[in-house]
């Protein structure tokens, strides 16, 4: 409110973006900085890690943080917690990014299919969406893992089924209202094929909403992956992920809580950062969402 009042009181602002960028809260900068840091760590995990994440240091087992050799301490085999943390960040982010992209793609395609064909196809998509939304995803995921065993590609694919129904519902609703608008029918009249209308014209118009949706789903994907890995049913050793580290660290919670705390704090701060950024983006780009 005050921002608007200030903006209108001042002599014509140069551009809308200019006035907007001034009111970015500090929390958003912090969130962005944290996420960039996470991505950098994920990309450069090999270079940044002081040790190999599986390398034991038997003379320094369960060493507390602050050890000049191991800044974040070591675990029960003397493996460097910081190195393990870096590799875990890489794996967890890889799964979360992969899954978020798959579910955004799947949901948008199904939403467009529903919007284009209407009728039976639409009812089918909506029914599947209702079904997906009404089942706790963790249970579905656990059943699939029980039947098929576990591997990283399967895990990413499985996580990619999480949240598609939200993209589908939104993409469908927006595409239906967009195709009723002048620009879509104009392009259609010009002779563009439906695929072109949807991908080149409608998609860019609704992309901001879908991106906001992605930031809302992303933290949940991270939590889901870490929960599965915590239960010992997600990422399997010797590979490590954030949830996995917490799960194994829990056995040393009395003697060496840092093994568990380092990844736990990372999970919390990362989901928090994405949420802060997502809320801010939502307010900027699309206040109608929730």
CA distance to 64, 135, 249, per residue, from 255 (Å): 10, 39, 10
From the list 30-38, 88-96, 168-176, 180-188, the region that binds another protein by CB under 8 A is 168-176
CB atoms within 10 A of CB 145: 18
E runs forming strands in the chain: none
Shortest Cβ 11–another protein spacing (Å): 31
| Residues 138 to 157 in contact with another protein, rule: CB under 8 A | 138-140, 142-149
On whether the CB atoms of residues 278 and 264 are closer than 8 A, the answer is: no
Distances in Å between the Cα of 75 and the Cα atoms of 70, 93, 189, 221, 271 are 10, 22, 66, 27, 25
Pick the closer one to another protein by CB: 78 or 219: 219
| Segment interacting with another protein, rule: CB under 8 A, options 59-67, 77-85, 89-97, 171-179 | 171-179
Task: For residue 2, state whether it binds another protein (rule: CB under 8 A).
Answer: no
CA atoms of 163 and 256, how far apart (whole Å)? 36
Between 126 and 203, CB nearer to another protein: 126
Per-residue contact flags (x/-) with another protein for residues 269 to 288, judged by CB under 8 A = --xx--x-------------
Beta-bridge partners for 80:
74
Among 7, 106, 109, 128, binds another protein (CB under 8 A): 128
Interaction between residue 32 and another protein (CB under 8 A):
no
In whole angstroms, what is the distance from residue 222 CA to residue 214 CA?
Answer: 12
235 CB burial (10 A radius; 0-12, 13-18, 19+): buried
Contact 67, 57 (CB under 8 A): no
Query: Which residue in 232, 236, 239, 285 binds another protein (CB under 8 A)?
Result: 232
**Residue 246 touching another protein (CB under 8 A):** yes
Binding mask 179-208 for another protein (x = CB under 8 A): ------------------------------
Residue 74, beta-bridge partner list: 80
Which residue number, 124 or 192, has a Cβ lying nearer to another protein?
Answer: 124
Q: Using CB under 8 A as the criterion, which residues of the chain lie in contact with another protein when the complex forms? A: 126-128, 130-131, 134-136, 138-140, 142-149, 169-170, 172-174, 177, 219, 223, 226-227, 230-233, 243, 246-247, 250, 253-254, 257, 260, 264, 267-268, 271-272, 275, 290
């Amino acid at each position: 409110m005050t921002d608007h009042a200030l903006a209108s009181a001042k002599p014509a602002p140069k551009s809308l973006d200019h006035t907007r960028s001034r009111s970015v809260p500090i929390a958003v900068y912090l969130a962005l900085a944290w996420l960039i840091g996470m991505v950098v760590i994920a990309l450069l995990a090999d270079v940044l890690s002081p040790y190999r994440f599986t390398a034991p240091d038997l003379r320094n087992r369960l060493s507390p943080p602050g050890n000049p050799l191991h800044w974040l301490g070591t675990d029960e085999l003397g493996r460097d917690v910081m190195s393990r943390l870096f590799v875990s960040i890489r794996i967890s982010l890889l799964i979360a990014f992969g899954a978020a992209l798959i579910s955004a793609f799947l949901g948008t395609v199904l939403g467009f299919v529903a919007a284009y064909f209407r009728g039976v196809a639409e009812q089918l998509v909506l029914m599947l969406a209702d079904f997906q939304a009404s089942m706790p995803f963790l249970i579905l995921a656990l059943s699939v893992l029980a039947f098929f065993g576990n591997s990283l590609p399967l895990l990413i694919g499985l996580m990619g089924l999480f949240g598609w129904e939200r993209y589908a519902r939104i993409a469908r609703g927006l595409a239906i209202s967009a195709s009723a608008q002048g620009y879509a029918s104009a392009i259609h009249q010009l002779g563009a094929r439906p695929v072109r209308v949807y991908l080149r014209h409608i998609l860019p118009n609704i992309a901001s909403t879908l991106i906001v949706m992605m930031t809302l789903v992303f933290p949940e994907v991270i939590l889901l992956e870490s929960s599965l890995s915590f239960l010992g049913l997600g990422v399997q050793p010797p590979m490590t992920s954030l949830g996995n580290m917490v799960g194994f660290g829990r056995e040393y919670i009395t003697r060496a809580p840092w093994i568990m705390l380092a990844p736990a704090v990372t999970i919390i701060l990362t989901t928090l950062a994405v949420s802060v950024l997502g809320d801010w983006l939502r307010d900027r780009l699309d206040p109608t969402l929730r």
